[in-house]
């Protein structure tokens, strides 16, 4: 699973996810991409599940780029704990995803294989997504 090597601070505020994504919105590496249509938190477990679904379907053919990284720590207090006594311990790491963000890219496979593999990955993610194809410069 993806976790940051180190962080300046152990715990973060929740933040807001207003607006659309500005960076990471174009297909930069491969020919096909999975882009977000809604906002939400994607956990490192969900990213790993999507990655495994893609690599299993393509039988490790082609190339896969993961364009998101879970850098935001999410805290959780233990069950049956009274209110107060500070913020909970770090429970997992997430990436806040805004609409328009390119999450996965694929290259080196045919169109039908890429669409089928990214279609399997769609079901592993908590945000609405769509599969895009790189525009040819002809």
For residue range 5-54, list pLDDT tens digits in order: 999 999 999 999 999 999 999 999 999 999 999 999 999 999 999 999 99
For residue range 106-128, list pLDDT tens digits in order: 999 999 999 999 999 999 999 99
Q: How confident is the model at residue 135 (pLDDT cuts 50, 70, 90)?
A: confident
Q: How confident is the model at residue 60 (pLDDT cuts 50, 70, 90)?
A: confident
Mean of the pLDDT values across residues 65-77? 97
Contact (Cβ atoms closer than 8 angstroms) between residue 125 and residue 79: no
For residue range 77-109, list pLDDT tens digits in order: 999 999 999 999 999 999 999 999 999 999 999
Q: Look at residue 138 in the predicted model and tell me its pLDDT.
A: 57
Q: Look at residue 116 in the predicted model and tell me its pLDDT.
A: 97
DSSP bridge partners of 133: 32
Give the CA angle between residues 65, 46, 1 to the nearest 5°: 70
Structure token digits, residue 132: 């895009």
Give the CATH fold of the 32-78+87-133 domain.
Aldehyde Oxidoreductase; domain 3 (3.90.1170)
Q: How confident is the model at residue 137 (pLDDT cuts 50, 70, 90)?
A: low
């Amino acid at each position: 699973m993806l976790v940051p090597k180190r962080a300046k601070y152990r715990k973060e505020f929740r933040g807001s996810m207003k607006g659309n994504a500005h960076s990471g919105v174009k297909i930069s590496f491969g020919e096909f991409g999975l882009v977000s249509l809604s906002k939400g938190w994607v956990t490192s477990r969900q990213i790993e599940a999507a990655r495994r679904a893609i690599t299993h379907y393509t039988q490790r053919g082609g190339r896969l780029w993961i364009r998101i990284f879970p850098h935001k720590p999410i805290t959780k207090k233990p069950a049956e704990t009274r209110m107060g006594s500070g913020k909970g311990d770090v429970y997992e790491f997430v990436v806040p995803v805004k609409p328009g963000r390119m999450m996965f890219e694929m290259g080196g496979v045919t169109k039908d294989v890429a669409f089928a593999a990214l279609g399997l990955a769609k079901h592993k993610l908590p945000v609405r997504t769509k599969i895009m194809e790189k525009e040819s410069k002809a």
